[in-house]
Amino acid sequence: MTKPSEKEIEFAKGLEGVVATTTQVGSVDGTAGKLAYRGYDVNDLAEHSTYEETVYLLLYGALPTRSELAGFTDKLVGYRTVPEEALARIRDLPCPCHPMSMLRSGISLLECIDDACRIAENLESKQDAGIQLIGQMATLAAAISRILEQKPPVAPDPELSHAGNFLYMLSGRQPEPLAERVMDIALILHADHGMNASTFASMVVASTLSDIHSAVSSGIATLKGSLHGGANERVIRMLEQFSTPEEALAYVDKAMENKEKIMGFGHRVYKTYDPRARIFQRYARDLSELTGDMKLYNVAEAIEKKVVATLGHKGILPNVDFYSGIIYHALGIDATLFTPIFAVSRVAGWVARIMEYLENNRLFRPRAVYVGPEDLPYIPIDQRG
């Protein structure tokens, strides 16, 4: 029988459009350009909520009462500390090493050396271990940044919000109110986004009934890629190479002429403006004006207008990565930490979706159609040309 060629087989490369499960955690409407967590529009959450409240919503399915939020916040604060032994081992890693690799290693270390990070067997214990990782991720990412700068890590401050504490641990200084609020919004906007690559990777690992640390570390490894979380780092590198908007426009013209990808534009799901990008654009402008350095924003704005005018009708519009890097740059954060910040936020979505899936778990097991040669005779090694 003649074997079908790859062109004759119906399949979704990269599993695009394939439905693998149902969820109540979050929804993405790529046509309308809407993102919601548990039915709440992300624009409303960015305007009115906090990261702590958003995490509670993702995990438990409802907005908390004041007392529920206070109790949950206290729990997150209590879980912020990362054992010194883990930090010492991270210092001993053979750097230079990308912060995402260090972050992934740090999570694996926590599984092995933190007594509280036991390998949980039941769902309640797994979720508690996941909440601990949400609390620790910010501390670990900030400590890695300090270690790379050859500075001592800063211990978490229990009096600060999750976002404010993260900025404090990065710099050692109390953050300005606007900086704290913008970081809080950034964490909200990155907390969950459908069945993206890192979420899927973490769920695949969790479906084997492996521990939640292994599942989260797989999410970090996936997020590191330049086609996923690493894209915002590439965007800022692109923007920094231009001194003026005119230089940027010349680059865009050449890139479009050569049909080259312009970082920060286009999305696998959104066929309209990414709703997160609109929010980030506003705060990128506000922070740039506050710092008195508008260069990057002006360059980005010029690129956006050019690309949208030329390719917008094809759905090539700014995505979440285009303006987020300008915000982090304005906050004094090095570009190598942009993707770890993504993980600091997205760990909430990973844990929420892992726990939801495990309630009715089934091992992920897709298949691949074999299209290679068959029935080949074995040739002894001394007879091979």
Query: Could you give the residue numbers annotated as active site?
Result: 228, 267, 321
- 3-state percent breakdown (helix, strand, coil) of the chain, nearest 5: 60, 5, 35
Q: Give the CA angle between residues 245, 246, 248 to the nearest 5°.
A: 65
- For 128-159, letters b (16+ CB in 10 Å) and e give bbbbbbbbbbbbbbbbbbbbbeeeebbebeee
Angle, nearest 10°, between helix axes 338-358 and 99-113? 40
Residue 233 CA to residue 226 CA, distance in Å, equals 8
Instruction: Return phi, psi of residue 318, to 5°.
Output: -60, 140
Position 167: which residue type?
L
Q: Give the CA angle between residues 353, 213, 155 to the nearest 5°.
A: 105
Residue 209 CA to residue 360 CA, distance in Å, equals 12
Counting Cα atoms < 13 Å in the Cβ hemisphere of 81 gives 10
Question: Tokens in use for 63?
Answer: 């907005």
Query: Are the beta carbons of 246 and 9 closer than 8 angstroms?
Result: no
Angle, nearest 10°, between helix axes 177-189 and 51-60? 20
Query: Are the beta carbons of 76 and 165 closer than 8 angstroms?
Result: no
Question: Tokens in use for 313?
Answer: 């009708």
